Amino acid sequence: THTEVSEVTGAPVTTDQPNLDVRRTEIPDESDRRDGDRVHVSGRRFRIRKVEKDGELGLKLFLEEDPIP
């Protein structure tokens, strides 16, 4: 579950979209990372839908399950 504030209304918005927090240093070359890249988590494959910097040294990867085996 992820909660953020709507830029339009200022109201909190909560989603059940899977997400993964990583340190920027864990990604070899951040400039090579693109939306649509894939990650494997606990034997499941996900596509990166969106990436946001957390304002410090991390990234939040918003994921969607990848239907391609």
Q: Write down the pLDDT at residue 49.
A: 86
Let me know: does 45 contact 65? Beta carbons within 8 Å: yes
How far is residue 24 from each of residues 2, 18, 20, measured CA to CA in Å? 20, 19, 12
Does the reported pTM lie above 0.85?
Answer: no
Q: Write down the pLDDT at residue 25.
A: 82
Q: Which among 3, 35, 5, 2 is positioned nearest to 18, based on CA atoms?
A: 2
18-56 pLDDT tens trace = 888 888 888 766 555 666 788 888 888 988 888 888 877
Q: CA 1, CA 5: separation in Å to the nearest integer?
A: 14
- With 0-12 / 13-18 / 19 or more C-beta atoms within 10 angstroms meaning exposed / middle / buried, residue 67 is exposed
